[in-house]
Structure 1
Amino acid sequence: MSADSPSSHVAIGGATSGLTLNLHPLPILNISDHLNRSRLTSSGDIKIFGALLGTESNREISVVNSFELIFGSPDGDVDMAEASTSATRNTSQMLNTAFFDTRREQFKQVFPTLDVVGWYSIGKYPALEDVTLHKQFAEIIETPIFLLFDSEHQPASQALPVKIYEAALAEGGKDEDTKGKFVELVYGIETGEAERIAVDGVSRGGMGGEGEESTVVANLTTQRNAIRMLYERVSVLLQYITAVINKTAQPDHTILRQISAIIATLPTMDAKEFREELTTECSDVQLTTYLTTLTKQLNALSEYADKHNLLHPPPNDDFGGSHGGMRGGRGFAGGGWDLGGGRRRK
């Protein structure tokens, strides 16, 4: 933690821009994972930071993802290997803008609806290097937000180890009082159904088994919960539509239009192309099963033949001996040889 006093870089009662913040669970998990990996690979006091991805509509910001950043010269070359080693605290280090631009474009290709809305770091209170980094981000992003993850958070506490700030706005003639300081923002937690299931799975960890068994059970449990939740939602919609058809419930055209839009996005299950594709796939699966069974039977037959030949070797092909091509007193009756001797029948 910085040697500065806890409130030296926080403006008490500073004016904000009136942002409405919604924080999703994924950035918190990413920052926690980033911190744990840095602690395992670095020694001493560490300093990690990264960018926050989200959406901004009017004055509402939703933070839904994040990615890690590295220190370096502002126009330095991009070195992907530095991302896991550049965690040592150094107030003279600056944001590697080349690396930032590269990662920003990569995430933009995967998540075209998301953009960088701010950045994150660790600490109990904002430090001097946080002010320096925030000024660099402000040159790239318009009014960035700053998420501070408390690495010394006590597990017994019920509050999240997260505080979100923005640069303090000057009020009246108090520009010097708020210059280079942060003001804390109020934020809310926003999660979807899929995110709640994922967070629940992460919180349970390796419960229920060990090794691969635990992973398989956890995955199957997650899938079962997701399918059960989907089934419950569909059942509610089906009950509502049935009630509307039976005129036991008042139709809400807004809800009906939303249901119609959802159904329109689903594939048509009764189409001729679907039935042909399903029949072809079913035939391919059955044919593959038959071929597998046939291969196993042929392999078993081959092993049986090898064992039989080992116990009962085939007769000698040399018919010029005293036994007239017979072995062990026996001859080939079907080959034109008399069972009693070596002369050919007339």
Structure 2
Amino acid sequence: MPDTEMTSVDETDEAILVQREDSGAGGGERQIHIHPLVIVNITDHRTRQKCNSQLSQTEAQQVIGALFGIQKGLDVAVYDSFEMKYDVVSGEMQIDKEFLTSRIQQFGAQALPSDLAVHRVVMEFNESPLFMILDPESKGPSTKKKLPISLFESELHMLNGVPKMIFVKAPFKIETSETEGIAIDHISKITPIGDASKSSLHPYLGNVRDAVKMLDRQIDVLLCFLQAIKSGEAPMDHNLLRHISSICNQLPAMQSEHFDAAFTLEFNDALLVSYLATLTKGTTNVNTVVDRFAATQERHHHQRGTLL
């Protein structure tokens, strides 16, 4: 069962990753699906490690963990992850194999990847583990379109006549079920205990604000692209222009006379319905008062007749 790990890589490994990615060799056979709980666990682990280092005023340590999931043929589904214990000895990471073995016994035969040094240790538990990198500090332009995570498979290649293990980028998809999506959405909206100053509307408005900001940035990208085409700095791409035109056509024509007339008519209809509902409610209240008054007067006359 494939298993992976979240770590940073040194300059040599990173160069190998970039070289292999640019060359486009290898990988691409297995269909890998990563569930959102994995990403939530990794980012939570990283955040806790960073906060602890700030409180203790020490350098944040590298966070390492393992993914576990199910493999059926070439289809791999990564459902969850857990943290791994390790010690740094002479600059090298030593994984706590007893802890790892106990977790494997709990979850089954899962794959546990890491960087090249740790990756070889993990191969004692799985012959074809995966290597996953999540960069929480990534601020590149690509992060606007996709998550800052990468997944790699290990392959043995002959480099200068010497067999060497390298990482080859593997495609993957983020996949979630309906129940899992509800759980993740609930977890992401949990507020600190005792924080009564913020209402439930506050996170909703924050999400709306972030969505509007992202929309504004994407519109700026489209605007810069159109200006570059107009000035001749970018080549004409009719396919992209058709897509941009279809996006613009989805927006309401706010300054159109037809739109103003239709909006005013709809607004007046809504007001009329509201006024009619108010009049109906008022009439009902008046009718109730009249009925009660009539009943009171009838009882009063009946009591007067009895006394006489």
Q: TM-score when scaled to structure 1?
A: 0.46
The answer as to 2:47 corresponding to 1:36 is yes
Which residue, out of 65, 79, 82, partners 1:50? Answer: 65
Instruction: Calculate percent identity across the aligned residue pairs.
Output: 26
Answer with 1 or 2: which has the greater Rg.
Answer: 1
2:298 aligns with none
Q: Deviations over 1:197-252 (max 9, x none)?
A: 12323444549x9737979x69xxxxxxxxxxxxxxxxxxxxxxxxxxxxxxxxxx
Which residue, out of 113, 123, 135, partners 1:119? Answer: 113
1:1-346 aligned at under 5 Å gives the runs 2-4=10-12, 6-10=14-18, 11=20, 12-16=23-27, 18-42=29-53, 43-72=58-87, 91-108=91-108, 115-119=109-113, 130-154=115-139, 157-170=144-157, 179-206=164-191, 211=195
User: Closer, same or farther in 2 for the Cα pair 1:132/1:181, shift >3 Å?
Assistant: same
User: Closer, same or farther in 2 for the Cα pair 1:157/1:202, shift >3 Å?
Assistant: farther
State the superposition RMSD in angstroms: 3.4
Structure 2: segments with no counterpart, 5+ residues: 1-7, 202-308
Moved more, 46-55 or 147-156: 147-156
Structure 1: segments with no counterpart, 5+ residues: 73-87, 109-114, 121-129, 219-346
1:294 aligns with none
More strand per residue: 2
1:79 aligns with none
More helix per residue: 2
CA contact (8 A) 1:14 1:168 kept: no
CA distance in 2, matches of 1:29, 1:39: 15
CA contact (8 A) 1:168 1:178 kept: no
CA contact (8 A) 1:146 1:166 kept: yes
CA distance in 2, matches of 1:35, 1:53: 18
Q: Which amino acid aligns with 2:113?
A: W
1:296 aligns with none
CA contact (8 A) 2:111 2:125 kept: no
CA contact (8 A) 2:35 2:176 kept: yes
CA distance in 1, matches of 2:71, 2:90: 32
CA distance in 2, matches of 1:52, 1:212: 36
CA distance in 1, matches of 2:170, 2:118: 19
Q: CA deviation at 1:116?
A: 1.4
User: Closer, same or farther in 2 for the Cα pair 1:61/1:139, shift >3 Å?
Assistant: same
User: Closer, same or farther in 2 for the Cα pair 1:94/1:176, shift >3 Å?
Assistant: farther
CA distance in 1, matches of 2:163, 2:34: 26
Moved more, 14-23 or 154-163: 154-163
Q: Which amino acid aligns with 2:34?
A: L
- SS for the counterpart of 2:183 is helix
Q: CA deviation at 1:136?
A: 0.8
User: Closer, same or farther in 2 for the Cα pair 1:200/1:138, shift >3 Å?
Assistant: same
Q: Which amino acid aligns with 1:194?
A: T
CA distance in 1, matches of 2:40, 2:97: 24
